[in-house]
Chains A and B, each alone.
Chain A
Amino acid sequence: MDDELGPVAASAFFAAACKALESTDYARVSPSATDRVTGPWSATFEDASSVVGVQAYESIDELIQGWPTAQSHLTDLISRFIEPSDPKAWDGYLVLIAPERVNEDQLDEIVAIQYNTSRVRKLVVTGDKIAIDQSLRIALSPLLPLSGVRRLPLRNSDDDFYADVERLIEDDGIEPELTRLLLVAYRNNEPLMSAIESHLVSAENGTDVPT
C-alpha cells in the first residue's frame, strides 16, 4: 500500500462519493434513522426508487473483511422502513471504497464481491490517487444521470417536444435548416440519409428543398 494514502484518502474519496450522489436527486439519510454505525466513513442515501449505502475503508483487506457488516447495516435499515413487496426493496446499492490498488491475491475476492448478488448490488471502488477518481465515476455511473445529456421538461404535445429538440440541436451549432429537415423526415418515417442528401444537393444548386 502507498503509505501516503490511508485515512486521508479514504475520507477524501468517501466525501467525493457523497458529493456526487448529493449533486443529483439523492438525499442523505439522517444518521438518527439508524442505530448502528459501521465506522467514520459510512452514509446512506435515498431517492425515489433506490437506497444507497456508501462505506469507505483504509485498505482493500479491510474492505474484504468488512463489507458483510456494511451490507448487514444497509439491509437492516431498508428492512425497517420498506416492505419486502415494495420494488425499492430490490433496488439497494452498496458502494464500497478503498483507496488502494488491488493486488493479485485480493483480485478474486474483489471480483467475487462485485458479482455477489445477495440482498443488494455491490459497487466496488478501488485504486490509487489517480485511478480512484475515474474508478469512482465508473462505479457510481449506475446511480448517476447520464453525463452530457440535458434533461427536457415534460411536454403536452409532440410538436412542443420536437420544437425543444430542434432548439437543443441548434444550440450545439448544427445548421437549423438541416435540423428541421431531419426532424420532418424522422416524423414521416422517411430515410434520414435521403434528407441530408437532398439538403446538400439543394445547397449546391442554390434551390429550396421541398418539405
Chain B
Amino acid sequence: MAAAMPGDQRLTLVIGAGCSIEHPTGMPSGGDLAEQAHQKLTLTRVIQAVANPRDLSKVADAVKAANHGLQAALIDVLPIDEMRIAKPNSGYLIAAAMQIDRVVGSTVSLNYDQAGINAFSVLGAGGIKVVHGIADVGSIRPQNFVFLHGSAALPGEDWVIGTDALDGEWISTWREVVAQLVLTTPVVVFAGLGSPAALLTSTVSKIRAALPGQTASYLIEPAPGRSDFADALALQDGHQLTCGWCEFMDSCAEVLLGAHLQNVNNTLPVVRLQAGTVANADVESVFDSVRQMGLVGYGRLRASWQDASRGQEYPRHPVPGEPGLISIADLFQFIAELETWSGESVTVEDSGIVNVPTATGTKRVVLYSSPAATDFEEARTRALLRHSSLATSASGVIVVVAHSNPPRAVSPPADILREEDESSPDVLRGPDPTTVLFLPYVRDSVTLQEKVA
C-alpha cells in the first residue's frame, strides 16, 4: 500500500482477464471465453475438439493448424464489439485516476478488451500513451497503457494468442523491450492473471537479477492458496494478496485519497496566513464529505473547481510544493468557513455543489478557481459557463470565484437581454442571473457571508 502514495510513478500494474469480470465490465473469464469460442468452432466444424477447451491459446493453436497458420476464424467468434466498448469497473477507474495522479507509471494489459483505456475516456482524461502494437512504441512516454498481447482495436492476425506467440515468439521483439522498460519500477502489481505468462515472468526475473533488492512484485489473487503464477514469479511470502481486483483498487484509492487530504491539511496554515482567515473552521468535516465520494469523486470535484481544457476534464492532484495545492487547500478552507457562517453542516457533492442549510432552505454554492484568467471578468465568464447547467433551475446558484484578480467596475450589462434591476424570473428570459462573488470579498464582508450562508 505504500506504493499507492503520491510519488513519481513508482508502481506498475499488470492486469489480466480477471480484472474485466467484475461489474459493469462483465467480460467472461479467459477460461469461459475459450470454452465459448471452442463450442462455436467445433459446432461449425472449423476445428476438432481440443484436450483443454478452457485454454484460449490451445484453441488458437487448433484454429491455426486447421487454417494454414491463420487465426481469424477464432477472432471472428470472440465478442470483439463488446471488448471494444467494455465499460470500466471501479477498479479500472481507480487505476486510471492513480495513473493521472502519477502514482502508477504504466499499466500493462494482457487483455484484448479495452475497458482499461475506456476508463480514461469516462474520467475525461488524456496524457497517457496507449500502445496497441509496434507502431506506437516510438512515441512511448513515462506514462503508458500497453496492450502487450494486442487489443480488440487491432486486426485479428496481430493478436498474441497462440502458444508459440505466448511462449517464445516475443523474445527480442518490441514486446520484450517494452516489458523491460515499464516493469522496471520499484513495485509491480499483477492482478487478474490466470496462468503464468512467460514474457512477464522472464522479464521480472531478469529485472530482479539486474536490480537485486530494488524491486518488489505482488500478486492479487481472489482465491486463497499459493498460485502457479506466484511460483513462476518466485514471489516472497506475503506478496500474494487474497482479494478481488476492485477490492484491491478500492484499498489503494483509500490510501491515496488519505495522502492527498493529508497534503491539503498540511497546506492549510499557509492558506490561513495568506488569507488572514481567522474563522475557526473545522476542515475535518469537509474531508469526511470528500472521503465519502472516494478518490474518483474527489477528482471530479476538483474538475468542477477549475476550467479544464477539452479532453482534460480530470485534473491531476498537485503535490507539495506546487501552487495548485495551496489553491485546493484554500477552497477546503472556504467550505469549512461556509459551515461556520451558517452554523449548520454543509454537504459537498462531486458535481461541485456545496449545499448550505439555512433557516429558509438550502443555498447552493459552487466554487471556481481560475488562476490562469487575466482578470475577474474572464474568471466570472468561465465560471458561469462551467456551471451553466446549474443555473437552469429556478432556485439559482451562487458562484464564488477564487484566485483571480479582484473585480473592477464594468460598463456593459451583465446580460444584454435583461435590465440590471429586473429581479423576477420568467419563462422567456429564464431564471434569475446567477450571483457571482469574489472569494476574498466574502471572507471580508458579513453581508456577503449572509448571502452565501
Contacts and interface: CB of A to CB of B under 8 A. Distances in A.
Do A and B associate with each other? yes
Interface of A: 36, 61, 64-65, 68-69, 71-73, 75-76, 78-79, 82-84, 86, 89-90, 92, 112, 117-121
A86 B408 CA distance: 18
A83 B414 CA distance: 14
A117 B410 contact: no
B322 interface: no
A68 B382 contact: yes
7 contacts: A68-B382, A69-B374, A75-B411, A79-B409, A118-B384, A119-B381, A120-B416
Given A79-B408, A119-B381, 8 more contacts: A69-B373, A72-B374, A82-B411, A89-B411, A117-B415, A117-B418, A118-B381, A120-B412
Contacts of B417: 117
A26 B310 CA distance: 36
A126 B111 CA distance: 43
Contacts of B385: 68, 112
Contacts of A68: 373, 378, 381-382, 385
Chain A CB within 10 Å, residue with most, of B382, B409, B410, B412: B412
Given A82-B411, A118-B414, A65 B310 contact: yes
Given A61-B310, A68-B385, A118-B384, A84 B411 contact: yes
B22 interface: no
Interface of B: 309-310, 373-375, 377-378, 381-382, 384-385, 388, 408-418
Given A65-B309, A118-B384, A72 B412 contact: no
Given A61-B310, A64-B310, A118-B381, A79 B410 contact: yes
B378 A79 contact: no
B310 A89 contact: no
A112 B408 CA distance: 26
Contacts of B416: 90, 92, 117-121
Contact of B412 (A36, A61, A69, A119): A119
A118 B412 CA distance: 9
A119 B413 contact: yes
Contact of B414 (A79, A92, A119): A119
A126 B286 CA distance: 45
Contacts of A79: 408-412
Nearest to B429: A117
Nearest to A65: B309
B42 to A, nearest CB: 45
B383 to A, nearest CB: 10
A75 B309 contact: no
Contacts of A65: 309-310
Contacts of B375: 72, 76
A89 B413 contact: yes
A35 B410 CA distance: 16
A85 B79 CA distance: 67
A73 B414 CA distance: 15
Nearest to A73: B374
A90 B412 contact: yes
A118 B436 CA distance: 13
A112 B374 CA distance: 22
B45 to A, nearest CB: 45
B382 A119 contact: no
B413 A72 contact: no
A97 to B, nearest CB: 19
B381 A83 contact: no
A73 B375 CA distance: 9
A79 B410 CA distance: 5
Contact of B378 (A69, A82, A92, A121): A69
Nearest to A84: B411
Report, nearest first, the 10 A-B pairs whose CB atoms are least far apart: A72-B378, A68-B381, A89-B411, A119-B412, A79-B411, A72-B377, A84-B411, A117-B417, A117-B416, A79-B410
Nearest to B409: A79
Contacts of A86: 411
Given A61-B310, A64-B310, A118-B384, A78 B374 contact: no
Contacts of A89: 411-413
Contacts of B408: 76, 79
Contacts of A78: 411-412
A147 to B, nearest CB: 25
Given A117-B415, A121-B416, A75 B410 contact: yes
A36 B388 CA distance: 27
Among B373, B409, B411, find the residue whose CB has the most chain A CB atoms closer than 10 A.
Answer: B411
Contacts of A82: 411
Nearest to A69: B378
Nearest to A89: B411
A71 B384 CA distance: 13
A118 B420 CA distance: 12
B313 to A, nearest CB: 13
A29 B234 CA distance: 75
Contacts of B310: 61, 64-65
B203 to A, nearest CB: 40
A117 B409 CA distance: 19
Given A61-B310, A68-B382, A118 B415 contact: yes
B409 A90 contact: no
Contacts of A119: 377, 381, 410, 412-414, 416
Contacts of A83: 411
Nearest to B384: A118
Given A76-B375, A78-B412, A79-B410, A71 B381 contact: yes
B311 to A, nearest CB: 9
Contacts of B381: 68, 71-72, 118-119
A64 B412 CA distance: 21
B418 to A, nearest CB: 8
Contacts of A76: 375, 377, 408
A121 B373 CA distance: 21
A137 B65 CA distance: 67
A69 B373 CA distance: 7
